[in-house]
Amino acid sequence: MDSLKSSKIFIVDDDSFWRLLLKSLLQELGYTNTWCFDSTAACLESISLNPAIVFLDYHMKGADGMTALKKIKAYDEQIIVIFLTASEDWQVAVNALKGGSFDYLVKTHIEEQDILSVLEKIEQHQSQAGRIL
């Protein structure tokens, strides 16, 4: 996972607690190239920095995660988007995955192992696709 550890990761959440928590978890796991944004607009303004991964809150004030997902994928369909949200609505998860999200994690149940697991799945997926981040 060393190639993934050097990849640029965006964290997009309007809740500073979750932004800092995820950034801290990623740093503890050795992922130090993280960028935090408090809105989808700020994330999209910086999308030209070409993140490999975007952790995206599904529901934010004045923003719709699905709209942001579509814009991210329109910019570069190879960017991996992982929804990290408080919503436990299975239909929201299905829509996110159908819309191109790589995974969907529920904040209230998130642990360090969940983040590590999704990063390992990304690394495995990239290896199988022959793509290095």
Task: Enter the pTM of the model.
Answer: 0.89
Q: What is the pLDDT of residue 119?
A: 92
**Is 45 buried (19+), middle (13-18) or exposed (0-12) by CB count in 10 A?**
exposed
Q: What is the pLDDT of residue 112?
A: 86
pLDDT tens-digit map of 95-127: 888 889 999 888 887 888 889 999 999 988 877
DSSP string, 40-57: HHHHHHTGGG--SEEEE-
Residue 44 has pLDDT above 70, yes or no: yes
Helices 16-28 and 112-129: crossing angle in degrees, nearest 10, is 60
Mean pLDDT of 39-50: 95
- Across the chain, mean pLDDT equals 88
| Distance of alpha carbon 68 from alpha carbon 56, whole angstroms | 9
* 81 band by pLDDT with thresholds 50, 70 and 90: very high
Mean pLDDT of 81-93: 82
Per the document, the length of the chain is: 133
- Give me the residue label for tokens 């696709």: 129
- Contact indicator for 93, 104 with CB cutoff of 8 Å: yes
Burial 5-17 (b: 16+ CB within 10 A, else e): bebbbbbbbbeee
Residue 63 has pLDDT above 80, yes or no: no
Domain annotation for the chain: domains and CATH numbers: 2-129 (3.40.50.2300)
Tokens of 46: 């910086």
